[in-house]
Chains A and B, each alone.
Chain A
C-alpha cells in the first residue's frame, strides 16, 4: 500500500526532522566546543516550551512572539549557567561534567514539576494545513521548520562568517592552541553554551505548539538528539542537520510501512548501520582527529 501517500509522508518526515535538527544542533555545538555532554539539554527544551505556554496562558502572547523572547532568554540563561556552573567542570575529568549536567537535569525537572505540575501543556496555534498538489503542508509545522532553519542558519553563518564565530570554532578545534593565539577561550565557551541553550529553548517554544509537553518530556528529546548527534558526527552542526532529517524520515517511513514500534526503533537501526560503516558519524570529525 501507499505509494500515492509517499509525498505526504516525506513532507511529514522532513518537517519533523527539522525540529529534531534544531534540538540536536545545540547539543552538538556544546559538545564540539567544550567536550561537555549536556544531559540537561532536553530540560532546557522543556523550559522553553513551558515559558511559551505561560506567556500564552497568562498574557495571551502569540507563540511566534514568545519564540523570540524564549530564544533571547535561552541565550542569557545559557551564558549564566556557563559562567556559574559549567565553567568549573570543562577541564575536569569527563565524569564531573556528566554529573553536573545530570544534576541540572534533575533540578530542572523538579522545578518544572513545581511550577507547572505533572500536566501536559500545549498552545493551540495555526492549526490545519495549506494544501497544494494533493499534499497537506501543516501550517504550524511549516512555520516551525522555517524558524528552525532560521536559527540553525544564523548560528551557521555566525560560526563561518564572523571573527567571533571563527574564534569559537578555533576553541572547538583546540582550546590550548586557540588560547596561545590570544583567543579568550572562557568567553568563547560562554558564547557556545549560550547558543546551545538558545537553540534548545527556542525548539521548545516550537514544540509546545505541535505536541504537548510536560516537565518530564526532556528525556524523550535528549535520546533522539543523542542519536542524531552521533549519526551526524559529534560536534558537527551540518551533521546535526542531516542527522535530524534522516531521523525524521526514518521515523515516519518506518511507522507508515511497518509499524509504530519499528518507526521508533528505525532511527536507532540507522544509527547502528552508520556507526558500523562510519564510526565517526556521517560528518564526524572524530575519525579525522585519530588520523
Chain B
C-alpha cells in the first residue's frame, strides 16, 4: 500500500544526505555553509577603533600612506568555524598578538595597525570571496594568509590578480607553489619534506625499507610523492604505499598488508584521528617495525592522551616545539599564554612568524608598496621564533626544516635535527607489550 511512498521517501532521504555530504566537502559545522559568507561578523583586533571596514572606505591604499594618521589595515580570512576552526582560532590569536605587540611599540611605519578578520567557515570558495572583499571593498593595506592548504590554494589567484603580497603561513602543499604564482609565500616546511628526519634516522641506523600509508588529501599525498623521490635519492626503498579515503576508521586490512611487506620503518601521513586509530590497530594486530613515525598526528598532545601507553617510542613530525631555542621563543610562548590562556602549538607559532615577516618587510622598505615588500621578502633570509625563513622566487619555503619528535613515557622529545635534539632517538622499537 505505501511501498511507493516508502521508496520515494528513502530516495528523498538519500538524495538529501548525498547533497549534504557533497555540498559541504567539509562536514556541516553548526552553521549552514552557504548563506553566511556575506554576513559573517567581522572582528577587529582589540585596542583598535570600533569603526571598521564599511565606514572608512574612503581611505586609499599606498599613495598617501606615509603621512596618513589612520591605521594600517591588515586583512585576513580565517576558518573560524567549520572543520578547521579549532586550529584557525590559534592563528587568529597569533595575528592579534603580533598586532597588539606592534601597536604597543609604536606601530608600523609609525602608524597603528588594525586587523580585519573574516570567517571563511573552512570553505575555499568563501575564503576566496572574502579576500576579494578585503582587497576591493575594505581596501586593506596588507593581507595575511588563511588557514590550510585548501583555502590558501583557492585564494592565491586573488593575491595574484590584485598583486598583493600574501604570506600564507599554513600552506604546506608543495603544488601550491609550483603553479607559477609570484605573490604568495610559504612559511612552513613543504609537505613533501615532513619525514626528512625519519629518513635521515633510517640512514643513520642502516635501515633500507619503509612502508607509507596516508590520508588521501593534500599533505599526505604530497608527502607520498616526496618520500618516493627522497627514497630514490637516498637509496632507500618504499616497499608499500597507499592512500586511504578521508574518514577511514578501520585500518586493519591496510595494516595487514603493511605487515606482510615487512618494512624496517612504517610511516603515516595522518591527522590525530587516524594516527590514533592506526596506532591502536597496529597494537591489536601486532604490526610493528623498527621505526614508526606518524606525521603530523602523532606530534599532537591529544594523540598521546588518546592512545595511552601505546604511544611509547612512536615518532611524529612537527614544525615547531616550545623547547626550540629560536630567537624570542620563550617570550612568544609567555605572551601567547597570557593572551590566549593556553599553550601555543606550531600553528600559532607559524602564524606569528608569518605576520612578523610581513612586518619586517614593511619596516625594511619603509613603504606599503606591494612590489617593494615582495622584493624584501624574497631577499629576506632570517630566523624567527618558528625557525629559519628563506623563500625562493616561486615563494616556496627552502630554509625551514621540520622537527622529529618521539614519545618517552608520555613526554615528547625532539630527536631531530640532531644539533637541536632534546633527547637521543631510540630505535629499534620493541614489540607491543614490551616497551
Q: Is A212 a contact of B306 with CB atoms below 8 Å?
A: yes
Instruction: Give the residue name and chain of the A residue nearest to B1 (CB).
Output: A289
Q: Does A204 contact B (CB under 8 A)?
A: no
Q: Please encode chain B, from 300 to 314, with 1 for each CB lying within 8 Å of some chain A CB and 0 for all others.
A: 001000111110000
Find the residue from B14, B84, B306 having the highest chain A CB count within 10 A: B306
CB-defined contacts of A251 to chain B, threshold 8 Å = 250, 253
Check B30 against A211 for contact (C-beta < 8 Å).
Answer: no
CB of B285 within 8 A of CB of A211, answer no
Is residue B430 within 8 Å, beta carbon to beta carbon, of the partner chain?
A: no
Asked whether any CB of chain A lies closer than 8 Å to the CB of B233, the reply is no
Closest to B85 in A: A118
Q: Chain B's nearest CB lies how many Å from the CB of A170?
A: 17
The reply to whether A37 and B13 form a contact with Cβ atoms under 8 Å apart is: yes
Indicate if A256 sits at the interface (CB-CB under 8 A): yes
B85–A260 CB distance below 8 A: no
- Across the interface, do A119 and B86 meet the contact criterion of CB distance under 8 Å? yes
Indicate whether A220 sits within 8 Å of B256 (C-beta atoms), given known contacts A106-B30, A128-B432, A129-B285.
no
Enumerate chain A residues within 8 angstroms of B29, measured Cβ to Cβ. Answer: 109, 113, 118, 216
A182 interface residue, CB < 8 Å from B? no
Provide the residues of chain B in CB contact with A220, threshold 8 Å. Answer: 247, 249
From B256, B272, B283, contact of A127 by CB (8 A): B283
Least CB separation from B215: chain A residue: A260
B109 at the interface (CB under 8 A from A): no
B16 touches A5 (CB 8 A): no
Q: Report A76-109 CB contacts with B as 1/0, cut-off 8 Å.
A: 0000000000000000001100100010011001
Q: Report the minimum CB–CB distance from B323 to chain A (whole Å).
A: 23
List which A15-68 residues lie within 8 A (CB) of chain B: 16, 35, 37, 39
B2 touches A289 (CB 8 A): yes
Query: Whole-angstrom distance between the alpha carbons of A230 and B29 in the complex?
Result: 27
Is B308 a contact partner of A255 (Cβ separation < 8 A)? Answer: no
**B86 near A118 (CB under 8 angstroms)?**
yes
Question: Shortest Cβ distance from B137 into chain A, in angstroms?
Answer: 30
Q: Are A118 and B83 in contact (CB under 8 A)?
A: yes
- Taking CB atoms, residues of chain B closer than 8 Å to A260 are 216, 242-245, 248, 253-254
Say yes or no: A124-B286 contact (C-beta < 8 A), given A9-B253, A226-B14: no
Alpha-carbon gap, A219 to B249, bound state (A): 13
Q: How far is the CB of A186 from chain B (nearest CB, A)?
A: 21
Instruction: Say whether, besides A37-B13, A253-B253, A214 and B273 are in contact (CB < 8 Å).
Output: yes
Asked if B253 contacts A12 (CB within 8 A), the reply is: yes
Interface size on B (CB < 8 Å)?
Answer: 59
Please classify the interface of chain B as helix (H, G, I), strand (E, B), loop, or mixed, using the class held by over half of its residues.
Answer: helix
Q: Are B276 and A216 in contact (CB under 8 A)?
A: no
Q: Which residue of B lies closest to A94 (CB)?
A: B9
Number of A interface residues at 8 Å Cβ cutoff, please give it. Answer: 64
* Contact across chains for A212 and B277 when beta carbons are under 8 A apart: yes
The docked-state distance in angstroms from the alpha carbon of A235 to that of B52 is 56
User: Within 8 Å of chain A (Cβ to Cβ): is B365?
Assistant: no
Pick the residue among B13, B85, B280 that contacts A211 (CB under 8 A).
B280
Judge whether B106 is part of the interface by a CB distance below 8 angstroms: no
Q: Is the CB of B284 within 8 A of A128?
A: yes
Q: Is the C-beta of B27 less than 8 angstroms from some C-beta in chain A?
A: yes
- Does B161 lie at the interface of the complex (its beta carbon under 8 Å from any beta carbon of A)? no
Checking A136, A219, A256, A289 against B257 with a beta-carbon cut-off of 8 angstroms, the contacting residue is A256
B206 within 8 A of A: no
User: How far does the alpha carbon of A222 sit from the alpha carbon of B7 in the complex, in Å?
Assistant: 18
Q: Determine whether A290 belongs to the interface, using a CB cutoff of 8 Å to chain B.
A: yes
Q: B276 to A9, Cβ gap below 8 A?
A: no
CB-nearest residue of chain A to B82: A118
A109 near B30 with CB under 8 A, answer: yes
Look across to chain A and name the residue whose beta carbon is closest to the beta carbon of B304: A124
* B273 close to A212 (CB less than 8 A): yes
- Decide yes or no: A138 and B16 within 8 Å by CB, A253-B253, A260-B244, A264-B245 being known contacts: no
Across the two chains, which residue of chain A brings its CB closest to B287? A136
Residues of A within 8 A of B83 (CB): 118, 216
Q: Quick check: B10 and A136 within 8 Å, CB to CB? A: no
Q: How far is it, in angstroms, between the C-alpha of A121 and the C-alpha of B307 when the chains are bound?
A: 10
Most B CB atoms within 10 A — which of A127, A128, A220, A223? Answer: A127
Provided the pairs A286-B3, A286-B7 are in contact, do residues A120 and B252 lie with their beta carbons within 8 angstroms? no
Given pairs A251-B250, A261-B245, 7 additional interface contacts (CB within 8 A): A9-B256, A113-B29, A120-B302, A127-B310, A212-B272, A260-B242, A261-B243
Residues on A facing B (Cβ under 8 Å): 1-2, 5, 8-9, 12, 16, 35, 37, 39, 94-95, 98, 102, 105-106, 109-110, 113, 117-124, 127-129, 131, 136, 138-141, 210-214, 216, 219-220, 222-223, 226, 230, 234, 251-253, 255-256, 259-261, 263-264, 279, 286-287, 289-290
3 smallest A-B Cβ distances: which pairs? A124-B308, A260-B244, A138-B284
A-B contact pairs, 8 of them (CB 8 A): A2-B257, A12-B285, A113-B29, A118-B83, A127-B283, A138-B284, A234-B10, A253-B253
